[in-house]
């Protein structure tokens, strides 16, 4: 039996299965992580990812079946053991998978609305139905039309629209895929253009702030007089100037947010292109020369089932980076294992409590006078605590010299620790941040 099939035919029949399993697993973890959290279920961003992951799961499950549903006895197809009906069922679900690239396009448009146009969550919810309707409506409609016209046949790797129906293949699949690729490419261009413009504005803003700081530091008496009253103590005036300088030098919170969102969006785009570049290459090659090189077809069989796995890597990437930063001595395998175990709600809460308690324990053993000799997590937590104490000191201060001295010491400690860890003023990370903008970052970046 083995002599009847070449190694290339066996490769195309077997190779997609393990990669499809990876994609199915990744999609299931994303789905579980979203549906088990009321907060994430209420986010437009997470609901779009949920739709994308459901389509990834459905497509990868159909691809995992590979050549099994192809009618038994089909020439040149290894492991074919199905019937006409099983072939049609597999073709229906694979064609329905066109919703995956269309959901990627919706996700790209979402990033444009958030970063380029600065939309808030309530505005996003008004257009959310359209971001779901087109992927779902188009995929279901085209899959039904292809089934109604009896267009599903063997494509040697799995069942899909017959190669003789070029119009359906182009109009129902490749055309929309290429349109989605163009959409996400334009979306990323707009997003990074917006970030570039913001960075230039911040550079001008920081330059102006540095001039103000230099004038204050050089003893600008006129500025000092404008910032104080006749009844202020000297230390109180210094404290107010320090607050003024910090607020003048800190960049807008939207810049940090835009960078993070743009980076996350770029990773999703890379995942999308890796998945569909080889199917597109194979199709263009067939259109030009009438055949596709086996190397391209082999890569098609490897990468096409993997988008669910790629998306899971991107989705959990911020979570991994935060844990890695908090636990630099823990190996990557152990981090991944703990992350997988923490996906259940009870384990997830225990996971964060345990990390917080461990980090707090390390801080109590550290020496404040020598922050560079301690581990980075200890310093970071002390920075956060010291920074959090600054507004508290200001709120309880009654204007006395002792209170002002305590406030100044707290500020100085936070600045010193922050410089030891980040090499930059505390105002560049801590300061006045729009709460609604931070909640949007939480929705996208904290899982």
User: Pairing state of beta strands 159-161 and 152-154?
Assistant: antiparallel
Is the confidence at residue 327, as pLDDT, over 60? yes
Instruction: Give the integer Cα–Cα distance in Å for 66 and 443.
Output: 37
pLDDT bin (cut points 50, 70, 90) of residue 322 is confident
Work out the average pLDDT over 67-74. Answer: 94
The predicted pLDDT at position 115 comes to 85
Work out the average pLDDT over 163-167. Answer: 92
Instruction: Give the integer Cα–Cα distance in Å for 363 and 324.
Output: 17
- Rounded mean pLDDT of the chain? 76
CB atoms within 10 A of CB 75: 8
Lowest mean pLDDT among 64-68, 238-242, 276-280, 392-396: 392-396
pLDDT tens digits for range 209-218: 666 666 655 5
Is the confidence at residue 402, as pLDDT, over 90? no
Higher pLDDT, 111 or 235: 111
The predicted pLDDT at position 440 comes to 43
DSSP 59: H
The predicted pLDDT at position 234 comes to 55
The predicted pLDDT at position 95 comes to 97
pLDDT bin (cut points 50, 70, 90) of residue 318 is confident
Higher pLDDT, 378 or 270: 270
CATH architecture type of domain 2-197+255-315: Up-down Bundle (1.20)
The predicted pLDDT at position 360 comes to 42
Residues 6+ apart with CB under 8 A from 81: 68, 70, 72
Higher pLDDT, 337 or 310: 310
- Specify whether the CB–CB gap between 418 and 381 falls below 8 A: no
Report if pTM > 0.75: no
Through-space distance between the first and last CA atoms of the chain, rounded to whole angstroms:
50
DSSP labels, 208-277 = HHHHHHHHHHTT-HHHHHHT--TT--HHHHHHHHHHHHHHHHSPPHHHHHHHHHHHHHHHHHHHHHHHHH
pLDDT bin (cut points 50, 70, 90) of residue 321 is confident
Is the confidence at residue 373, as pLDDT, over 70? no
The predicted pLDDT at position 317 comes to 87
Domain segments of the chain: what residues?
2-197+255-315, 351-447
Nearest to 63 by CA among 28, 16, 14: 16
Mapped onto helix, strand or coil, the DSSP state of residue 330 is coil
pLDDT tens digits for range 33-70: 999 999 999 999 999 999 999 999 999 999 999 999 99
Is the confidence at residue 237, as pLDDT, over 80? no
Nearest to 15 by CA among 153, 156, 174, 163: 156
pLDDT bin (cut points 50, 70, 90) of residue 408 is low
Nearest to 131 by CA among 41, 48, 52: 48
Q: Which of the residue ranges 145-149, 355-359, 416-420, 442-446 has the most confident prediction, judged by mean pLDDT?
A: 145-149
Lowest mean pLDDT among 6-20, 71-85, 208-222, 241-255: 241-255
Work out the average pLDDT over 366-386. Answer: 47
pLDDT tens digits for range 382-391: 545 555 554 4
Work out the average pLDDT over 16-34. Answer: 95
Mapped onto helix, strand or coil, the DSSP state of residue 15 is coil
Is the confidence at residue 253, as pLDDT, over 80? no
pLDDT bin (cut points 50, 70, 90) of residue 256 is low
Rounded to 5 degrees, φ, ψ at 75 are -65, 135
Work out the average pLDDT over 219-237. Answer: 51
């Amino acid at each position: 039996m083995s002599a009847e099939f070449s190694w290339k035919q066996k490769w195309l029949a077997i190779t997609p299965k393990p990669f499809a399993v990876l994609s199915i697993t990744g999609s299931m973890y994303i789905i579980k992580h979203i549906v088990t959290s009321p907060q994430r279920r209420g986010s437009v961003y997470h609901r779009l990812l949920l739709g994308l992951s459901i389509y990834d799961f459905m497509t990868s499950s159909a691809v995992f079946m590979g050549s099994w549903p192809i009618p038994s006895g089909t020439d040149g197809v290894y492991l074919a053991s199905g019937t006409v009906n099983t072939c049609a069922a597999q073709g229906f679900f694979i064609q329905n998978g066109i919703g995956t690239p269309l959901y990627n396009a919706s996700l790209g448009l979402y990033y444009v609305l958030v970063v380029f146009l600065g939309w808030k969550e309530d505005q996003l919810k008004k257009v959310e139905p359209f971001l779901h309707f087109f992927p779902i409506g188009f995929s279901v409609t085209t899959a039904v039309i292809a089934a109604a016209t009896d267009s599903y046949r063997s494509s040697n790797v799995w069942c899909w629209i017959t190669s003789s129906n070029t119009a359906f293949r182009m109009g129902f699949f490749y055309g929309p895929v290429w349109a989605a690729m163009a959409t996400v490419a334009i979306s990323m261009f707009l997003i990074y253009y917006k970030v570039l413009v913001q960075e230039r504005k911040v550079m001008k803003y920081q330059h102006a702030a540095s001039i103000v700081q230099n004038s204050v530091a050089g003893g600008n008496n006129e500025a000092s007089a404008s910032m104080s009253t006749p009844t202020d103590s000297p230390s109180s005036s210094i404290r107010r100037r320090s607050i003024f300088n910090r607020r003048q030098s800190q960049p807008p919170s939207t810049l940090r947010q835009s960078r993070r969102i743009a980076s996350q969006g770029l990773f999703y785009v890379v995942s999308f292109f890796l998945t569909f570049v080889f199917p597109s290459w194979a199709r263009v090659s067939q259109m030009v020369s009438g055949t596709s090189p086996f190397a391209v077809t082999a890569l098609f069989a490897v990468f096409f089932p993997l988008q669910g796995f790629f998306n899971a890597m991107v989705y959990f990437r911020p979570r991994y980076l935060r844990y890695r930063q908090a636990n630099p001595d823990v190996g990557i395998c152990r981090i991944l294992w703990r992350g997988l175990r923490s996906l259940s709600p009870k384990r997830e809460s225990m996971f964060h409590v345990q990390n917080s308690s461990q980090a707090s324990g390390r801080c109590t053993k550290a020496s404040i006078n020598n922050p560079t000799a301690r581990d980075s997590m200890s310093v970071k937590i002390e920075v956060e605590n010291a920074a959090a104490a600054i507004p508290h000191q200001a709120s309880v201060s009654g204007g006395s010299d002792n209170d002002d001295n305590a406030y100044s010491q707290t500020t100085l400690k936070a600045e010193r620790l922050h410089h030891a860890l980040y090499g930059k003023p505390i105002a560049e990370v801590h300061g006045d941040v729009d709460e609604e903008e931070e909640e949007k970052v939480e929705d996208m970046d904290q899982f």
